[in-house]
Chain A
Amino acid sequence: MKYIDAIRNVIINEMENNEKIIVMGQDIREWGGSSGLFKGLDKRFKGRIINTPISEAATVGIGIGAAMNGMRPIIEFTFFDFLLCAADPIINHAAKIKALSNGDFNVPLIIRGVLSSHRGYGATHSQNLEYIFMCPGLNVVYPSNPDDAAGLMRYALNQSDPVLFIEHKLLHNMEGGVTSESVPFGKAKIRQKGKNLGIITYGRLVPIVERIIKDMDVELLDLRSLNPLDKESIIAISRKTEKILIIEDGIGFVASKVAAIVHENSNAKVKIMHAKEFPIPAAKNLENYVLLTDDKITEVITSFIK
């Protein structure tokens, strides 16, 4: 099953069993959202697929209020970069209301943020900004395959705290088997076992790294959840291999945080790999210069393993 369909199926199933789930976003009723995920669902869930104006901040603020009063809104963001327009409601409110009310209020709000790097969309539509939202009180997850996408969405819809659910446009068509398991937050997963090198990464990069290392004696840890981070699994891989490579599509903030955990808890030699610190260009050759490419990753892995 495709990654996008895995998410779609879980949402449909949960919506059928739980009237409290509503969906809000731009162009979601007719187009089904930019990813087409909600296409055709309006008839099935009358009034629960809500088109919003281009007002990201108010949409999230309204989602928070609805969630405080027992609803379970899912808000779709066409491009992850647009989350910046709603940074205040997400970081200042969604993430804090439970703590501030000492548990009187919960905010079971899910925000689907779709990353879109490596597609030539340029500086304001291509950023990997997940690190900005790794704040206390907000769960941040980023599945790398259809099974995790379904499992994390299922888990998200059955717990009571806000979730930033990150997808990458380039993963949407990825095929893979899907189980009916839930994937709890804060649990990383070993994708390949090995001894010569440990690689820690997440999201879009996981299938790419899997392809590169499939004939190497390398261990691969897929974080799956960026907030909370699975410190136990990070420490475990650090103590197993002498070298740790942490790779991220962003500009190194997530990798640095993981590197600190590795460094403080093991004797492993740590290296981080991330995009160059420039606004992301549109032209393919320039974009390839700034962002990580499969070739660059292959080169770093093969030279670091020696």
Chain B
Amino acid sequence: MDNILKKLYMIRYFEEKVAELHKEGIVNGTDHFSTGQEAIPIGVCSHLRKSDIVTCGHRVYHIALSCGLKPEKIFAELLGKTTGYNKGYAGAMHFSSKSEGFWGANGIVSANVAISSGIALSLKVQKSNSIVVTFLGDGATTQGIFHETLNMASLWNLPILFVCENNYWAQSTSIKEHSAVIDLAKKVKGAYNIESLRVDGTDINKVMKSSKIAIDKVRKGKPVFIEFLTYRQCGHSINDVDKSYFTKEYIRKAKLNDPIIKYERYLIKKKLITREKIEELKKEIKEQLEKDLIAAKNARLTELNEIEVFK
């Protein structure tokens, strides 16, 4: 319980720190945050084994941190430091940590769906017990490669879990405008005969429960698709400041369904935690992140001779 709450805080505060770095002007490029969507990867990844493999698209921090990646090394990646996961070559949209089972973010929407299915194919050929989990957004479900891949994953019984974080927006375009079928789980089930679930992704207890069922099925050698309904409180990227496309109703629901507030309420109601303990945890996480950031800032910039492809 403590661990889940800590992860929720860590992701939220980590992204706030990254936003500050952009304001300071010391990160090269853009960023995509996950405010409001944090519960999904925390819940899903809690069921994974060390040898399982996770990938995602461009909305990455909540997923990478759920996989256990170190905040310090992500900060360092963003700052181009030698201690960064890929020494700064990859940056926000492309970093990976092979040894921690996080095989990469991907800057092209839905490209990860195919690559991850290929990893799943290799696991199947190698008769491994491991599985692949790939995260995508609702916007990714309109890409051609998504449909090509789901068809093949179903035909070939690949051990992969497709986790769709449906926040109802593809950048600034609403799902009503971008998808002819709004119930994505139904769409996938109907089109590709892949077992599909549709679950509230803002309630971590529901996320945990449903993803356990899904992952158990994937381990038996079948692909599964879970659509988690969620809300994005932040803009698409750091450049999307005014978010004028959000309706008042969406903003209201997003606040009402904040996964952190929901989980805190649940814990307090069940008398599993006190307000004091919550404040203590928040403080602890913030202090640790501050230390991580200082360590990343203090590391030296990557030298050209440390880059594999420059050698």
By a CB distance below 8 angstroms, the chain A residues around B139 are none
Closest B residue to A86 by CB, please name it: B145
Pair A100/B90 contact, Cβ less than 8 Å: yes
Given A65-B119, A65-B122, A102-B86, A57-B108 contact (CB < 8 Å): no
The 6 A-B residue pairs with the shortest CB-CB distance, nearest first, are A65-B118, A61-B114, A103-B308, A58-B148, A55-B148, A62-B118
A97 to B90, CA, bound (A): 9
User: Could you tell me the distance in whole angstroms from the C-beta of A5 to the nearest C-beta in chain B?
Assistant: 28
Within B69-88, which residues are at the interface with A (CB < 8 Å)?
86-87
By a CB distance below 8 angstroms, the chain A residues around B106 are 93
Interface residue? B152 (CB, 8 A): yes
Dominant secondary structure at the B interface? helix
Provide 30 A-B residue pairs closer than 8 Å at the C-beta atoms, listed in order of the A residue. A53-B148, A58-B151, A61-B117, A61-B145, A61-B149, A62-B121, A64-B115, A65-B116, A65-B117, A65-B120, A66-B121, A66-B125, A68-B103, A69-B122, A69-B123, A71-B125, A89-B114, A92-B107, A92-B108, A97-B104, A99-B309, A100-B104, A101-B90, A102-B89, A102-B306, A102-B308, A103-B308, A105-B96, A105-B98, A136-B309
A222 to B119, CA, bound (A): 37
Dominant secondary structure at the A interface? helix
Interface residue? A98 (CB, 8 A): yes
Pair A55/B103 contact, Cβ less than 8 Å: no
By a CB distance below 8 angstroms, the chain B residues around A57 are 114, 144-145, 148
A96 to B155, CA, bound (A): 29
Within A63-80, which residues are at the interface with B (CB < 8 Å)?
63-71, 73
A66 to B108, CA, bound (A): 19
By a CB distance below 8 angstroms, the chain B residues around A93 are 106, 108, 111, 115
Pair B89/A62 contact, Cβ less than 8 Å: no
By a CB distance below 8 angstroms, the chain A residues around B53 are 69
By a CB distance below 8 angstroms, the chain A residues around B98 are 101, 104-105
Pair A71/B86 contact, Cβ less than 8 Å: no
Closest A residue to B146 by CB, please name it: A58
Closest B residue to A64 by CB, please name it: B115
Interface residue? B238 (CB, 8 A): no
Q: Per-position contact with A for B298-310: 1 when CB-CB < 8 Å, else 0?
A: 0000000011110
Closest A residue to B124 by CB, please name it: A66
Pair A101/B115 contact, Cβ less than 8 Å: no
Band of interface residues on B: 35 or more
Pair A100/B120 contact, Cβ less than 8 Å: no
By a CB distance below 8 angstroms, the chain A residues around B309 are 98-99, 103, 136-137
Given A100-B96, A102-B89, A105-B103, A69-B119 contact (CB < 8 Å): yes
Q: Per-position contact with A for B218-256: 1 when CB-CB < 8 Å, else 0?
A: 000000000000000000000000000000000000000
A103 to B87, CA, bound (A): 11
User: Could you tell me the distance in whole angstroms from the C-beta of A62 to the nearest C-beta in chain B?
Assistant: 4
A60 to B114, CA, bound (A): 8
Pair A71/B122 contact, Cβ less than 8 Å: yes
A47 to B96, CA, bound (A): 31
User: Could you tell me the distance in whole angstroms from the C-beta of B307 to the nearest C-beta in chain A?
Assistant: 7
Closest A residue to B95 by CB, please name it: A100
Pair B104/A101 contact, Cβ less than 8 Å: yes
By a CB distance below 8 angstroms, the chain A residues around B113 are 61
Pair B149/A58 contact, Cβ less than 8 Å: yes
Interface residue? B94 (CB, 8 A): yes
Interface residue? B126 (CB, 8 A): yes
User: Could you tell me the distance in whole angstroms from the C-beta of B128 to the nearest C-beta in chain A?
Assistant: 9
Per a CB cutoff under 8 Å, which of B86, B94, B119, B155 touches A53?
A: B155
Pair B94/A100 contact, Cβ less than 8 Å: yes
By a CB distance below 8 angstroms, the chain A residues around B94 are 96, 100
By a CB distance below 8 angstroms, the chain B residues around A136 are 309
By a CB distance below 8 angstroms, the chain B residues around A47 are 125
User: Could you tell me the distance in whole angstroms from the C-beta of B240 to the nearest C-beta in chain A?
Assistant: 23
Pair B115/A89 contact, Cβ less than 8 Å: yes
Per a CB cutoff under 8 Å, which of B152, B306, B307 touches A55?
A: B152
Pair B122/A99 contact, Cβ less than 8 Å: no
User: Could you tell me the distance in whole angstroms from the C-beta of B113 to the nearest C-beta in chain A?
Assistant: 8
Given A101-B86, A137-B309, A65-B115 contact (CB < 8 Å): yes
